Structure 1
Amino acid sequence: MIRHPSRSAADMPTSTEHCLQTSLVIPSHNRASLIGETVESALAQTHPFASITVVNDGSTDDTLKVLAEFGHRIQVISTQNQGVQAARNIGIAASNCPLVAFLDSDDLLAPTYLDETAGWMVAHPEVDATYNNFLTIEDAHTRPPKLTQASFDWLEGSRRDGDFHLDIPDLLLRSLRFQPLFPSGQMVRRTFLQQHGGYDPRFRGVGSEDWEFTLRVITNGQLALCEKPLVKVRKHAANESKDNVRMRMGETEVLAHCLAHHPSASAFKQEITQSIEERLHAALNSAFDNRDFHSVRHIVAKISSPLPAKTRLKTFISSSPAPVSDWLWHAIQLLSRSGA
Structure 2
Amino acid sequence: MKGLVSVIVPVYDRAHLVAETIESILIQTYQPVEIILINDGSKDDTLSVLREYKRRFPSQIRVIDQPNQGQIIARNNGIKIARGNYIAFLDSDDLWMEDKLERQIPCFEPGVGLVYSGTEIIDEEGQTLRVDFADEAISGNIYPQLLVKNRMTGGTVVVTAESLNQVGLFSSDFKAAENWDLWLRICKAYSARVVMDPLVKYRIHSQNMSGDGQLMLRAKLQIIQKHCDLHSKDAVVARYSRLAYADYHYRAGLNFFAAAQYPLARNAFISVLGFSFFYEDTWLRLFRSFLGAPGNRLLRILK
Give the TM-score band, short-chain normalised.
0.7 to 0.9
Whether 2:111 is the aligned partner of 1:138: answer no
Other-structure match for 1:26: 9
Other-structure match for 1:336: 296
Q: CA 1:209/1:126 → structure 2, altered by over 3 Å: closer, same or farther?
A: closer
Paired with 2:240 and 2:111, the residues of 1 have a C-alpha distance of: 28
Name the SS for the 2:228 alignment partner: helix
1:248 Cα deviation after fit: 2.4
Whether 2:49 is the aligned partner of 1:66: answer yes
Paired with 2:292 and 2:143, the residues of 1 have a C-alpha distance of: 37
Other-structure match for 2:278: none
Paired with 1:144 and 1:180, the residues of 2 have a C-alpha distance of: 16
Letter in 2 for 1:227: M
Name the SS for the 1:184 alignment partner: helix
Name the SS for the 1:229 alignment partner: strand
TM-score normalised by length of structure 1: 0.70
Show CA shifts across 1:199-228 (max 9, x none): 11111x23x231111111221111111123
TM-score normalised by length of structure 2: 0.78
- Contiguous gaps of at least 5 residues in structure 2: 275-281
Q: How does 1:1-150 map to 2 (within 5 A)?
A: 18=3, 21-72=4-55, 73=57, 74-121=61-108, 124-138=109-123, 140-147=126-133
- Preserved CA contact (<8 Å) 2:13 2:42: yes
Q: CA 1:229/1:282 → structure 2, altered by over 3 Å: closer, same or farther?
A: closer
Letter in 2 for 1:25: I
1:92 Cα deviation after fit: 0.7
Name the SS for the 2:133 alignment partner: helix
Q: How does 1:306-325 map to 2 (within 5 A)?
A: none
Name the SS for the 2:116 alignment partner: strand
1:141 Cα deviation after fit: 3.6
Other-structure match for 1:255: 224
Paired with 1:49 and 1:42, the residues of 2 have a C-alpha distance of: 11
Q: CA 1:337/1:61 → structure 2, altered by over 3 Å: closer, same or farther?
A: farther
1:69 Cα deviation after fit: 2.8
Whether 2:164 is the aligned partner of 1:193: answer yes
1:36 Cα deviation after fit: 1.6
Other-structure match for 2:279: none
Which of the two has higher C-alpha Rg?
Answer: 1
Whether 2:193 is the aligned partner of 1:224: answer yes
Aligned residues: 282
Which of 151, 155, 161 is the matching residue for 1:180? 151
Name the SS for the 1:54 alignment partner: strand
Paired with 1:249 and 1:265, the residues of 2 have a C-alpha distance of: 26
